[in-house]
């Protein structure tokens, strides 16, 4: 019996040995690591799905923003000149009054006075919107602001000077919207030089 007990004790020692417990512990550790990795992968997939959703929402919001800005821009262009035309209405009214007064009265001075008042009102409107006249008469010719239509031989002005303005030019703020059409001076040839050449 002592022998049997000794064998049983040896068996229990072998069963309780750390070598036998190690494989079981490793198996549990591996399964825990596997579960953790699966959970991490799931979390990463959830994060990716969340970020993808955010990106889609942001893209949709940006598209809506672009459409809204385009509508606002179209609306602005459509009605941008409203205030200018509203002010032109008073000028049209004055011209209509001038026309009707000439039908009732054959007095031409009244018509002339009405046209002068209308002209002053238009110039005042131009000033309101920073439309300025291009200075040209008796100024040196500047191709940036003047358009030469012809040249005139003269001794009254230095060469390349504007002698006449055929049509006025205008600036909007500092941008040229129409150049002044002008006649430019050139040096007059003396008759003595002509006779020598002949």
Task: Say what the pTM is.
Answer: 0.52
**pLDDT for residue 198:** 53
pLDDT category at 88 given cuts 50, 70, 90 is confident
**pLDDT for residue 12:** 52
**CA distance linking residue 180 with residue 141, whole number of Å:** 10
Mean confidence (pLDDT) of the chain: 79
Across the range 104-109, mean pLDDT stands at 69
Question: Above 60 in pLDDT, residue 196?
Answer: no
Helix (H, G, I), strand (E, B) or coil at 154: strand
Question: Above 80 in pLDDT, residue 90?
Answer: no
Across the range 126-153, mean pLDDT stands at 88
Residues 6+ positions from 4 with CB-CB distance below 8 Å = none
Q: Say which residue the tokens 């002044």 belong to.
A: 180
Residue 116, both tokens: 């002068």
Question: Above 50 in pLDDT, residue 192?
Answer: no
Which is more confidently placed, 83 or 150? Answer: 150
Instruction: Report how far apart, in Å, the C-alpha atoms of 114 and of each of 88, 98, 141, 151 are.
Output: 15, 5, 35, 36
pLDDT category at 77 given cuts 50, 70, 90 is confident
**pLDDT above 90 covers what percent of the chain?**
21
Domains and CATH numbers, the chain: 131-198 (2.30.22.10)
Question: Above 60 in pLDDT, residue 193?
Answer: no
Across the range 84-105, mean pLDDT stands at 76
Question: Above 60 in pLDDT, residue 113?
Answer: yes
């Amino acid at each position: 019996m002592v022998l049997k007990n000794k064998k049983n004790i040896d068996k229990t020692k072998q069963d309780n040995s750390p070598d036998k417990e190690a494989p079981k512990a490793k198996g549990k550790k591996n399964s825990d690591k596997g579960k953790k990795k699966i959970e991490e992968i799931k979390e990463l997939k959830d994060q990716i799905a969340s970020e993808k959703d955010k990106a889609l929402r942001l893209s949709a919001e940006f598209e809506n923003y672009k459409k809204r800005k385009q509508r606002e821009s179209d609306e602005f262009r459509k009605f941008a000149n409203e205030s200018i035309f509203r002010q032109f209405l008073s000028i049209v009214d004055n011209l209509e009054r001038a026309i009707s007064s000439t039908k009732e009265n054959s007095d031409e001075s009244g018509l002339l006075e009405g046209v002068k008042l209308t002209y002053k009102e238009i110039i005042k409107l131009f000033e309101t919107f920073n439309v300025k006249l291009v200075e040209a008469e008796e100024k040196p010719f500047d191709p940036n602001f003047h358009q030469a239509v012809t040249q005139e031989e003269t001794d009254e002005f230095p060469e390349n000077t504007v002698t006449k303005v055929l049509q006025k030019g205008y600036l909007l703020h500092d941008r040229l919207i129409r150049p002044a059409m002008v006649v430019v001076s050139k040096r007059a040839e003396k008759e003595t030089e002509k006779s020598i050449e002949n």
